[in-house]
Amino acid sequence: MRKALVAGNWKMNGSMASNRELLSALKEAIPGSDAVDVAVCPPAVYLPDVRAQLQGGSIAVGGQDCSDETSGAYTGEIAAGMLKEIGCEYVIVGHSERRARQREDSDWVARKFIAAQAAGLVPILCVGEQLADREAGQTEAVVAEQLDAVLDQAGVAAFERGVVAYEPVWAIGTGLTATPEQAAEVHRFIRDRVAARDSSVAGGLRILYGGSVKADNAAGLFALPDIDGGLIGGASLDAGSFVAIVNAAG
């Protein structure tokens, strides 16, 4: 039985004041649960304060990205070990916004995944196709390339301590959501692809859905057998919406 995970990706949003307001609402409304793990991923500069606000509670903290290197002359980058040191449990790697804006390719993302695990973090590997890929019938080919890069470099056993998030790029921040059938099909494809290497690892792997998940569509998505929670962007900035999504998963 896989425990669901709902992670909020705050992206480049928030301030000390608005974060504290949001977190105090979340802390009150989200008690620990055996059914769902919850995490928030704020901008890196806020991580220590967010961690302090959540101290002693059930909500974990994650980074939005990490370097593939451990230390050195990499201006602006943050090592996975630094995230771990300040109390992070998770880190997102390969988000489509970084694949697009920072031109992160799948090999690079795989190295970040490995660096995150080496530091003791649970990487949340984002995969997903662009609209043009879907229209060209290339969804599975694109997702396979992104997944295989990590399977090949890290080995399938690495997925025992990793999470995959399927995020169709055309559904991120657009208000468009994959239909439950579209999402289910790709989630099954991901699990089968991991199972081809190791069925027991595949059976335990948490595969999240992300892309315009809201309070009113979360339950339908999370009810599907291969969807183990969500990576939530916009709706994670609103306490009421995020709590409703967490409740839909648990």
Backbone angles phi, psi at 21, to 5 degrees: -65, -45
**213 binding ligand PEP? (CB under 6 A):** yes
**109 binding ligand PEP? (CB under 6 A):** no
Which residue in the set 210, 222, 227, 248 belongs to the binding site for ligand PEP (CB under 6 A)?
210
173 is in an annotated binding site: yes
**172 binding ligand PEP? (CB under 6 A):** yes
x-marked contacts with ligand PEP along 131-170 as a string, rule CB under 6 A: ------------------------------------x---
Closer residue to ligand PEP in complex, CB, 92/156: 92
Closer residue to ligand PEP in complex, CB, 96/201: 96
Contact between residue 116 and residue 150 where contact means Cβ atoms under 8 Å apart: no
**233 binding ligand PEP? (CB under 6 A):** yes
For 234, half-sphere exposure in the C-beta direction (CA atoms, 13 angstrom radius) is: 12
Largest CA distance in the chain: 48
Neighbour count for residue 131 (Cβ, 10 Å): 13
Catalytic residue among 89, 167, 181, 185: 167
Backbone angles phi, psi at 166, to 5 degrees: -85, 115
Q: What is the DSSP letter of 62?
A: E
x-marked contacts with ligand PEP along 6-45 as a string, rule CB under 6 A: ---x------------------------------------
Among 106, 175, 171, 113, which Cα is nearest to 142's?
106
Active site residues: 95, 167
